[in-house]
């Protein structure tokens, strides 16, 4: 620590060069922060802590096929199931197909299974009582500037109404918010009453898209899932029951290997960064050879010179990298507030910072090692003589 001043003054010996290098490092880590935020959003989609005790039951053939409602009572009677609810995918469009968000018809007790979505008792009650009522997530409401009492028309893509009309109009009676800041993407959804939906739709009446059940003991989840699937075994509507985590993880994995794409891009970025800062550090050491010789002359050991130079390169990367990650944090919160569901992103939190810092230290060491060794091996006589 006592040498910090020395390191800093060495670093800013050539201000322009250091600042340009810092800005390059900043750009690299800004990109790292943004991409890692997206990557971890995809990776954590199946890791919602709140979802561990929920099971999702869909048709074994394909989750796009519906199931009979008669399964409800039988699932409820399965030992280990504490509560069961159901829902249907509606797939409605608000104004323009570009405004994509999930909208689902849900059973009266559906929201009870999701305690992480907070909805006031009054709004919960209003949703139960209003036939055409709808509840949306806070982020979705702010994206379209909806407020309580608004009428929200959706164009059906799958389910026309009995009269043949494709337009379903709902009354906004509640706005919920997700308590886990990492799962704010779950606010990108609209719910309405299944009973109204089932009464008004032209076909498919009595069919349910999927069941969601809460198990009384999460350790028994696997066994309960099997028991549920046994209910419909060998019937013509066999089911597949998974934990919510597993269900989401398998869905997300279908978008493609996001981790690999991010790794490829960051590989290219960090490779060029190492070369760029490596060059800067090499220049910096080359220019300072006589100074380093003086340091050694007045008693700095080879090891201290090595450590000084290494710290200098690490500091260079950490300064630029930290600024880049901080900027990424600002950018992510601005982006997710504005484009919302278009691209899932996690806030730049402790885990991304830790990974980032580890990378900074590593790159700092790699970049500094060659110039620092050169500084360490310097022979005073040669260096002072300019040989």
Partner 1 sequence: MITGILLLLLLLWLLTTRSGRQAWSVTQVGILTIPQRLGSSLVVVVGIAGVVGVLVAVLAMGAGFAATLKQTGSEDTAIVMRAGAQTELNSVLDHDTATLVSQMPQVMRDAQGVPIASPELVVVTSLPKKSTGLDANVELRGVGEHAWELRPALKLTAGRRFQTGLRELIVGKGARSQFAHVDIGSSIQLNRQSWTVVGIFESGDAYDSEIWGDAEIVGPTYRRGSSTTSVLVRLNDASAFDAFKAALASDPRLKVDAKTTRAYYSDQSSRLTRFINILGITIGSIMAIGAVFGALNTMYAAVAARTREIATLRAIGFRGTPVIVSVLLETMLLGLLGGVIGAGLAWLIFDHYTASTLGQNFSQVVFAFEVSPALLWTGLKWALVIGFIGGLFPALRAARQPVTAGLREL
Nearest to 192 by CA among 264, 106, 269: 106
Min dist. Cβ of residue 241 to partner 1 (A): 14
Residue 236 binds partner 1, judged by CB under 8 A? yes
Min dist. Cβ of residue 249 to partner 1 (A): 8
Residue selected from 8, 49, 61, 77 as contacting partner 1 according to rule CB under 8 A: 61
Min dist. Cβ of residue 97 to partner 1 (A): 6
Residue selected from 256, 263, 290, 381 as contacting partner 1 according to rule CB under 8 A: 256
Q: Give the integer Cα–Cα distance in Å for 93 and 103.
A: 9
Residue selected from 50, 102, 227, 269 as contacting partner 1 according to rule CB under 8 A: 269
Contact 78, 227 (CB under 8 A): yes
Residue 343 binds partner 1, judged by CB under 8 A? yes
Stretch that binds partner 1, among 75-83, 90-98, 113-121, 175-183 (CB under 8 A): 90-98
Residue 268 binds partner 1, judged by CB under 8 A? yes
Binding to partner 1 in span 157-176, by CB under 8 A? 157-158, 160, 164, 166
Beta-bridge mates of residue 303: none
* Strand segments (E) across 12-97: 54-59, 67-68, 81-89
Residue 276 binds partner 1, judged by CB under 8 A? yes
Residue 156 binds partner 1, judged by CB under 8 A? yes
SS3 239: strand
Nearest to 185 by CA among 113, 107, 117: 117
Min dist. Cβ of residue 136 to partner 1 (A): 21
Stretch that binds partner 1, among 41-49, 184-192, 232-240, 293-301 (CB under 8 A): 232-240
List Cβ neighbours of 256 (8 Å cut-off, separation of 6 or more).
none
**Which region, left, alpha or beta, applies to residue 149 given φ > 0 means left and ψ of -120 to 50 means alpha?**
left
DSSP 170-227: EEEEEEEEES-GGGGGGGSEEEEEHHHHHHHBSS-TTEESEEEEEES-GGGHHHHHHH
Contact 135, 174 (CB under 8 A): yes
Beta-bridge mates of residue 88: 105
Classify strands 133-137 and 189-193 as parallel, antiparallel or unpaired: antiparallel
Residue selected from 7, 10, 11, 21 as contacting partner 1 according to rule CB under 8 A: 21
Residue 12 binds partner 1, judged by CB under 8 A? no
Beta-bridge mates of residue 118: 177
Residue 31 binds partner 1, judged by CB under 8 A? yes
Q: Give the integer Cα–Cα distance in Å for 130 and 67.
A: 26
Binding to partner 1 in span 195-214, by CB under 8 A? 203
Min dist. Cβ of residue 239 to partner 1 (A): 12
Residue 64 binds partner 1, judged by CB under 8 A? yes
Min dist. Cβ of residue 155 to partner 1 (A): 6
Provide the binding-site residues for partner 1, judged by CB under 8 A. 16-17, 20-21, 23-28, 30-31, 34-35, 60-65, 91, 93, 97-98, 100, 155-158, 160, 164, 166, 203, 234, 236-238, 250, 253-257, 264-265, 268-269, 271-273, 275-276, 279-280, 282-283, 342-343
């Amino acid at each position: 620590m006592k040498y910090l001043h020395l390191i800093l003054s060495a670093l800013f010996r050539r201000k322009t060069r250091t600042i340009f290098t810092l800005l390059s490092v900043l750009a690299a880590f800004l990109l790292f922060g943004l991409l890692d935020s997206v990557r971890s959003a995809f990776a954590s989609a199946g890791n919602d802590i709140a979802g561990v005790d929920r099971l999702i039951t869909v048709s074994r053939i394909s989750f796009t096929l519906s199931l009979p409602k008669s399964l409800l009572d039988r699932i409820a009677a399965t030992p280990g199931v504490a509560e069961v609810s159901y829902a249907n995918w509606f797939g409605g469009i608000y104004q323009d197909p570009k405004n994509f968000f999930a909208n689902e018809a849900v059973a009266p007790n559906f929201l009870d299974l999701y305690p992480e979505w907070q909805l006031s008792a009054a709004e919960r009650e209003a949703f139960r009582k209003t036939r055409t009522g709808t509840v949306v997530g806070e982020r979705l409401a702010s994206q379209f500037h909806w407020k309580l009492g608004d009428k929200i028309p959706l164009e059906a893509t799958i389910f026309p109404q009995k009269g043949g009309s494709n337009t379903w109009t709902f009354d906004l009676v509640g706005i919920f918010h997700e308590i886990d800041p990492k799962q704010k993407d779950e606010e990108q959804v609209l719910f309405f009453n299944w009973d109204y939906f089932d009464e008004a739709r032209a076909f498919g009446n009595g069919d349910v898209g999927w069941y969601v059940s809460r198990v009384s003991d999460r350790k028994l989840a696997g066994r309960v899932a099997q028991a549920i699937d046994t209910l419909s075994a060998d019937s013509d509507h066999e089911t597949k029951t998974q934990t919510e985590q597993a269900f989401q993880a398998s869905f997300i994995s279908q978008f493609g290997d996001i981790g690999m794409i991010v790794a490829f891009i960051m590989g290219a970025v960090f490779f060029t960064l190492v070369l760029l800062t490596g060059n800067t550090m090499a220049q910096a050491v080359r220019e300072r050879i006589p100074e380093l010789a003086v340091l050694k002359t007045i008693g700095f050991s080879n090891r201290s010179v090595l450590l000084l130079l290494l710290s200098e390169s690490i500091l260079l990367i950490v300064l630029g990298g930290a600024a880049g990650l901080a900027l990424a944090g600002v950018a992510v919160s601005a982006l997710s507030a504005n484009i919302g569901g278009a691209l899932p992103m996690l806030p730049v939190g402790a885990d991304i910072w830790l990974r980032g810092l580890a990378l900074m230290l590593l790159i700092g060491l790699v970049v500094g090692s060659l110039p620092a060794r050169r500084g360490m091996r310097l022979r005073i006589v040669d260096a002072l003589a300019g040989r």
